[in-house]
Amino acid sequence: MTAGNGRAAATGGEDADGREAAGPGAPGPAAAAAGAVVGRGRVSDTVAGVVRQWHAVRPDIDTGPMEIIGRVNRCAALLQQAEDAPLRRAGLTRPEFDVLGTLRRTGHELTPGEIARETFSSGAAVTKRLKQLTERGLVERRGDTRDRRVAHVRLTDAGRDLVDAVLPEQLTYETAVLSGLDGQEQSRLASLLGELLFQLEGRLGAPRG
C-alpha cells in the first residue's frame, strides 16, 4: 500500500543456482552440518540455502542462530505481505489497523500514549495515524477534563463496524495462509514461539518496572 516495509532477509536469500545441492537421501557434509540444528531437515527453504552457502565459504562459523532468526524474519516478511492483502481492500494499512484493533479489543478509550505502547510504535507515528483515522471518521478524540495535555481516543461506530467486518476476513485469510501446517504443528509452533517471545520480552523488551 503505502507504508509496507518488507524488511526481511536477516541473512536470508535464495540461492540462484544450487537449490538442492545435497540430495536429501544422501546428505553431504554441508547438509549434515545444517541438519545438526534443523533436526531432520527434509524440506528446503531459502534460509537452508543461505546456511549452506555460509558453510561453503566459512565452514568455521556456527550458523545455528540464523536458522531461527533468519526464518523468523523471512516468515514475518512474507506473512505481513500476505496479511496486508485483505486490509488493502478495506483501505487500511497494517499500522492503521493495529490502532483500530487495539481500541476494539481493549473495549474502552485510550490515550495516544497508551496506543503507542500497545502497538509498540513511537508517539509521533501514532499522532500521524490518529490524524488520518480521525479525518476518515474512524476514530474520535476528546480532551481530558482533568489534564488538558491528554486526549482520549475511541472508535466511532463506523470504525467499530470496519474492524468487525475486516477482522473475520483477516483471520480467515490467515488461517488459509497457515494451512500448510497441520493442527499439531501449528500448536507446537505457537507454543515454541510463545516461549521464545516470553524470553525475548524478558531480556530485550521494555524493562519498564
Partner DNA sequence: ACAGAGTCATTTACGAGTAAAACACATGCT
Partner DNA sequence: AGCATGTGTTTTACTCGTAAATGACTCTGT
Residue 148 interaction partner, one of DNA, a second copy, none, beta carbon < 5-8 Å per kind: DNA
CA distances to 87, 96, 124, 140, 154 from 104, rounded to whole Å, are: 16, 13, 21, 13, 9
Could you say which DSSP state residue 26 is in? S
- How far is residue 113's CA from residue 150's CA, in Å, rounded to a whole number? 9
| DSSP states along 73-134 | HHHHHHHHHHHHHHHHHTT--HHHHHHHHHHHHH-S-B-HHHHHHHTT--HHHHHHHHHHHH
Judged by CB under 7 A, the chain residues 51 through 110 that form the site for DNA are 93, 95
| CB 26, min distance to a second copy, A | 20
Judged by CB under 7 A, the chain residues 110 through 129 that form the site for DNA are 111-114, 116, 121-129
Grid coordinates given for 128: 500521524
Judged by CB under 7 A, the chain residues 2 through 61 that form the site for DNA are 2-6
Judged by CB under 8 A, the chain residues 31 through 50 that form the site for a second copy are 37-41, 43-48, 50
- How far is residue 142's CA from residue 75's CA, in Å, rounded to a whole number? 39
Judged by CB under 8 A, the chain residues 166 through 185 that form the site for a second copy are 167-168, 171, 174-175, 177-178, 180-181, 185
| CB 163, min distance to DNA, A | 18
Residue 10 in contact with a second copy, rule: CB under 8 A: yes
For residues 4 and 194, which CB has a smaller minimum distance to DNA in the complex? 4
Contact in structure between 82 and 73 (CB atoms under 8 Å): no
Judged by CB under 8 A, the chain residues 131 through 160 that form the site for a second copy are none
Residue 22 interaction partner, one of DNA, a second copy, none, beta carbon < 5-8 Å per kind: none
Residue 151 interaction partner, one of a second copy, DNA, none, beta carbon < 5-8 Å per kind: DNA
Q: Which residues pair with 110 in a beta bridge?
A: 153
Give the residues lining the site for DNA (CB under 7 A).
2-6, 93, 95, 111-114, 116, 121-132, 141, 146-151
